[in-house]
Structure formats: C-alpha cells, structure tokens
Structure 1
Amino acid sequence: MTADVMSTLRAFYASEAAYLTDGSGFEETARHLAPDVVMRQASSLPYGGDWHGHDGFRRFLAAMRESWDGLWFDEQHFLDDEASVVVYSRGRLRARRTGRILETSLLQWISFRDGLITEFRPYYHDTSAVLAALTEGPSAAQPPSAD
C-alpha cells in the first residue's frame, strides 16, 4: 500500500469519527473521496443501501449521525493489494436514541483510484447487534444490569 493511500485512509477514518462524535463538517471527509464514491451498506440497517457520489455520501453520514452520536476505533488492521484495502476494525458506537454502547467489529473492502476512496463494502460481524443497540428494550449489544 502506498503511503498516500494509507494517509488518505487514516485521515478519512479520523474525519468520519469526528463527524459522528463532534459534528465536524463534511468537507474534511469529502476531500478523501472520489467524486463517484459509492458506499454499500447492508440493506437491513437504518442507513442501508447504496449511496453514490459526494451528495450520497453526505446523506449516508447524516443517516449514520441520526443513529449514532459516537464512534471510537479501538483496533484496526490493514491488508492491501495496490488498488484496494481490507480493513479489520474493532470499535465502539454510541446509539443516539438509546444511549447504548455497541462494541463490534467489521471488515471493509475499500477501493481507491488516484489516491482517493472510490468504494466501501462493509461486512458487519453482527447486524442484529447493531439493530438491537439502536432500539428500545433488552439488547444483545448491552445486556440489562442485574440490579
């Protein structure tokens, strides 16, 4: 992996986390994305589907921000093959409506062109845990206390 691609990817993840956690602007995130970027999310998620271009990516992040108000990466590992990177991420998200903390992991297949990100294909460890963290009632993501 070139140093430029790695720098782009790390800067993207930092700007994504800042957007979800601190409400930072989209401009910092967009500078790492190709104009024709595509985000492909699992259809079962509230922000599922394919999101195209900068406008689509902005709408995707807005939908994510409606669901989550915090994102923290605890561990990341990267594998590359020149035009794409596979990223294993383990981290935490805080659900905006329920306040639940979801500890989870996912793999992402990320494609690049000319040093910019062109496509994301995330593969979640457990989408049902993601959905449970976002809804009221008992959750597999955060068991009720024994009080």
Structure 2
Amino acid sequence: MSTGQVAPENARAFYGFVENFLGGNVDAALEFIHPDVLAHEPPALPYGGEWKGKDGFRALMEMIGATVEVEATPIGLHDAGDTMIAIFNAKFTSRASGASVEMPVCEVYGFTDGLISNVNVFYKDPCEFAERISGV
C-alpha cells in the first residue's frame, strides 16, 4: 500500500477537474482526464455502471448534468501516494421533478501521467438517491 503526498500534477488534475465539473464546464473538466479513464458509478443510479475512455466519461458527465443539479461541499480530502480520496456533502436535485436528496459521497481517484485515470464513486445510500431522484 502506498502512502504519502499526492504528486503536484495529480493534485492539479483533481482540483481542476472538480472545479470545472461542479462549475458545469465539461470541456475544461475533460482536460484533466486520461484518455483511458475508467469511471465506476453505483448501479442503482440513473447513470450507474462503468464508463470508459474520454468519450464515455463525457457521456457520464453530460448524463449527470441532465439528470441532477449537484451542489457539493468538500468535507475531507485524503491522499495516499497515487490515490486521492475525496468526501463531499452533496445535494442532488432532480431536473425532471425538482425532488432533492442530500448525502455524503466518497470518490476515489487514481492517476496516470498526471491525469485522472480511474474514479470510483460511493454514495452513502444509492437506493435513497434512486428512489427520490428517479422515482424508482
């Protein structure tokens, strides 16, 4: 297991991605994404599953943006060498119904060549999210 400080280029990619994604700038957010990225979203979500490559990642970000408005406040950031773990308090508001849900979300980021190459996302209660946002 690797421990230590995140490399400056990895921190730059993480902060650049998060700032641009939450700001709604998909093109700028993609500048910090590795061409072979793999993202994992909980299967219960409307955009759940694996998303591969930059085109897949773009599709994921666009689907998230079309499904919900996201407000996120970071409450913890932990580094372990080539991995960053970010914990957010997040509020998701459905664009279709206006229903909202708040919960902690943990995201684990891996890096290759100073770009985000792997993202694993963990919602505190993905079933509650699906129920409130998707009406499932």
The TM-score with structure 1 as length reference comes to 0.81
Larger radius of gyration: 1
Structure 1 equivalent of residue 72 of structure 2:
73
Q: In structure 2, what is the Cα distance between the partners aligned to 1:10 and 1:101?
A: 26
Structure 1 equivalent of residue 92 of structure 2:
93
Structure 2 equivalent of residue 116 of structure 1:
115
Q: Which amino acid aligns with 1:117?
A: I
Answer yes or no: is the 8 Å Cα contact 2:93–2:101 preserved in 1.
yes
RMSD in angstroms over aligned alpha carbons? Answer: 1.6
| CA offsets 1:2-33 (integer angstroms, 9 cap, x no match) | 333222212211111122xxxx3x22011000
Answer yes or no: is the 8 Å Cα contact 2:111–2:117 preserved in 1.
yes
How many pairs align? 131
Q: Which amino acid aligns with 1:59?
A: A
Q: In structure 1, what is the Cα distance between the partners aligned to 2:38 and 2:79?
A: 19
Identity %: 20
Q: In structure 1, what is the Cα distance between the partners aligned to 2:92 and 2:16?
A: 19
Answer yes or no: is the 8 Å Cα contact 1:98–1:133 preserved in 2.
no
Deviation at 1:81, TM superposition (A): 1.4
Q: Tell me which of 9, 12, 18 is aligned to 1:7.
A: 12
Structure 2 equivalent of residue 140 of structure 1:
none
| CA offsets 1:81-111 (integer angstroms, 9 cap, x no match) | 1111111111212111111222111111110
Larger RCO (alpha carbons 8 Å, 6+ apart): 2
Matches within 5 A, 1:1-147: 1-19=6-24, 24=25, 26-68=26-68, 70-136=69-135
